[in-house]
Structure 1
């Protein structure tokens, strides 16, 4: 069998484009000095055609045609990623599920602002997908000089092709790293290595060679897709001196179903009744609101049971999110 072949044929890779900076109209979106035009947020072509866009991609990134794969591109949408909401993530997951048997691996192109949310959501909706789903994007449009889009696309497609047979999960490929999708955060607003995985090592590092950490990759498992996702979740950081009753009141009355409570350190907050946090959690739990504890720290484990407040929250039914990012939670 030739390198890169699947059952005696070239691997089939679907590139699913959902917008973001990579496909932005550079000439209309950026000033001559390279800065995004003030107040524009970028310009996106409404009727982007898959064939023409793929030709443009292959023209700007000719190495894609050298990777030994049959590439197909589907323009699912072409919008600023801040406009992608949970119903869009669910629809994207359904499309990947629909195409699962027709392709060997997948590359999802999206915008960096919500890329970590997209990757996290897809990872939970497509548990046991058992094929590479590599999410990528760029900090500059593909057609701009010095764009990181070319390298990110080449890296993402390479990981999607080389990972067939052992990468069985949703990943993020960006800035020379392959990261677990639901452990990824955008940690820099303008750097080309914009994403990191503070609580989990990279699945691969891309340089002259691709060094996969096979010991970290998920094993094959039963495919159990689920596409329903609840959007009525809010993040609440614990702020010293802030009264949660004054700041948030009864979130249940406003339809909130879940709260990501961002606590201090390994799982602490002011446990005094007059501080209000534990009584507020207790009242909201009575009203049926689910609580997940995350740390305000970027790195490290969460051990809320080591503190009186954290233990109290757990006894009230709050869940320890452990190593999860806020985006994943």
Structure 2
């Protein structure tokens, strides 16, 4: 049993993981954490009274990198970092990361901490916190978005509502509903509030015994999760106006791979060009233990079986992604690959979970 080593703490834990938020200079490059975090801390202390900020502390993190370079191993690093702090009594967190994979990391942590009463807010920025035009001193960029995003995230996390959320551009959403929609605008992300699993699986406040049971369950499988991250792969196949056999060739190329996740990005509501070769490739992928999920290339709306052009694939073991975003599908596939040992268990868990969020698809 992993018992808490400190009493439950009201201090909000900040985690700095890199990204544009902490970049500075010409050309822009990330500042060393030991230099950057004291600057941020001094500004928070300076404004804590006027902004009515809670007590904060920086959770030690050794993994600071450009978010476009994050891997499943890195996702598990942040899961473990927060899990250990949660086990010690911390409950409220703000994670600052880069925007490239912010929605993917947020959705993954949302899956991983489902069933707990943890409160985690993920944020970042499109411009650095410090004004890169002022090189003689560290000055907060008053025209940027970093400071506002940080303060909004701290205030959101201070409320302590259980669940993982993303806060950006003055708005916040359940993490598994969020996607990046603009490459450089301050309003770079969007999401929605009508999220079911895993958002509805968070507990308002867990009794100590139930929290300990949840923690014990996580730690029992933690070594497996870390080991599986070494060989967890999610592939994406993007439908284009090509001959449909091109998709079958791409699927066949995965024939000798260990069971993995495959996202088919269909047209519109999940339409995928049909061919006998592709149908057979989907059957073969299922027999090999792969999980194939259909998603839409459209940013909103998800997939459905309304059109014959898309419904045929569900007769060949493809699973509909419903209204889940691409980052959320990636995150759920990754968590299932890390957490559950067999293809059958993964499919069972997906079906049980996604049925609460997906557009209704014919039951198989």
Aligned to 2:85: 99
- Give the TM-score taking structure 1 as reference length: 0.78
Count of paired positions: 285
Indicate the residue corresponding to 2:117 in structure 1: 130
Cα distance in structure 2, aligned partners of 1:238 and 1:201: 29
State the 1:309 CA deviation: 4.9
1:55 counterpart = 2:64: no
CA contact (8 A) 1:260 1:291 kept: yes
* Cα separation, 2, equivalents of 1:111 and 1:318: 32
**Structure 1 residues 114 and 301, CA, compared in 2 at 3 Å: closer, same or farther?**
closer
After superposition, the C-alpha distances for 1:214-262 in whole angstroms (9 at most, x for unaligned) are xx86651774647525631111112222422344533132446121011
In the aligned structure 1, how far is the partner of 2:283 from the partner of 2:267?
Answer: 19
1:245 aligns with 2:239: no
Structure 2 equivalent of residue 14 of structure 1: 13
Report the 3-state secondary structure (helix = DSSP H, G, I; strand = E; otherwise coil) of the residue aligned with 2:64: strand
Query: CA deviation digits over 1:274-318, x for unaligned, max 9?
Result: xx43232122222222111111111114213x3345433223222
Q: Following TM superposition, by how much is the alpha carbon of 1:21 offset from its aligned partner in structure 2, in angstroms?
A: 0.9
Which residue number corresponds to residue 59 of structure 2? 74
Return the structure number with greater helix share. 2
Provide the C-alpha distance between the structure 2 equivalents of 1:220 and 1:128, rounded to a whole number of angstroms. 6
Quick one: distance in 2 between partners of 1:308 and 1:287? 26
Q: Tell me which residue corresponds to 1:328.
A: 328
Q: Any idea what the Cα deviations from partners look like across 1:9-67, whole Å, max 9, x if unmatched? A: 9931000111111112x11434xxxxxxxxxxxx2345x22xx5443113345434643
Unmatched runs of 5 consecutive residues or more in structure 2: 1-7, 132-140, 205-209, 330-364
**Cα distance between partner residues in 2 of 1:124 and 1:71:** 25
Runs of 4+ in 1 over 4 A off after TM superposition: 216-219, 221-227
| Alignment counterpart, residue 186 of structure 2, candidates 180, 183, 192 | 192
Match of 2:27 in 1: 29
TM-score normalised by L of structure 2 = 0.71
- SS in structure 1 opposite 2:121? strand
SS in 2 for 1:154: helix
Q: CA deviation at 1:75?
A: 4.4
Q: What is the rounded CA distance, in whole Å, between the counterparts of 1:128 and 1:10 in structure 2?
A: 20
Identify, as 1 or 2, the structure richer in strand: 1
The answer on whether the counterparts of 2:237 and 2:263 sit within 8 Å (CA) in structure 1 is yes
Instruction: Write out per-residue CA displacement over residues 113-167 of structure 1, whole angstroms, 9 at most, x where no aligned residue.
Output: 11011101111111123122000011111112322110000000000002x1xx2
Task: Map Cα deviations across residues 172-218 of structure 1 (whole Å, 9 max, x no partner).
Answer: 00000111111111111111111111xx3389xxxxxxxxxxxx866
Q: Secondary structure at the match of 2:17?
A: strand
Gaps of 5+ in 1: 1-8, 31-42, 204-215
